[in-house]
Amino acid sequence: MNVKVITKIDEHALIEWVDAGQINRSIVPANEVRGNTCEHPEWGVPYGEDWAALLSELNVDLLVSELHRRGIWTADDLQANHKAALGAIHTVAGELFNRLLSSAKARKAQNNGGL
């Protein structure tokens, strides 16, 4: 599979590849990478945070509550007051960012930063 070498550290390489439209990264033995190919990049150690697991913690009820708090109950409400709806989404996005940041900091402290 075609890969991009992001960096090499000692005997390992951090590589990136696209599979089914998804960008992936893993750490593999450097000798497994020949030019810009690696036969099984998915066998490497996954690199990065598991954002999907963290994002699954997002509570849809929070968005519903924020929409209702701003008076958005129907499609007509949404069309008539899209700025309020964007405000609700912004509030939820801020909460989500805070959760992601807290989790990432906790994982970094737990792993002493990782690679």
- pLDDT (0 to 100) of residue 34: 95
What single-letter amino acid sits at 47? Y
Question: What tens digit of pLDDT does each residue of 84-101 get?
Answer: 999 999 999 998 888 888
- The candidate with the shortest Cα–Cα distance to 13, out of 27, 3, 1, 24, is 27
Listing DSSP states for 35-79 in one string gives TTEES-GGGSEE-S--HHHHHTT--HHHHHHHHHHTT--SHHHHH
Among 5-14, 45-54, 57-66, name the most confident range: 5-14
The percentage of residues in the chain with a pLDDT greater than 90, rounded to a whole number, is: 68
Whole-structure pTM value: 0.64
Using the predicted structure, report yes or no on whether residue 114 has a pLDDT greater than 60: no
Question: What's the CA gap between 36 and 33, in Å, rounded?
Answer: 7
Question: What's the CA gap between 62 and 85, in Å, rounded?
Answer: 13
- pLDDT (0 to 100) of residue 33: 96
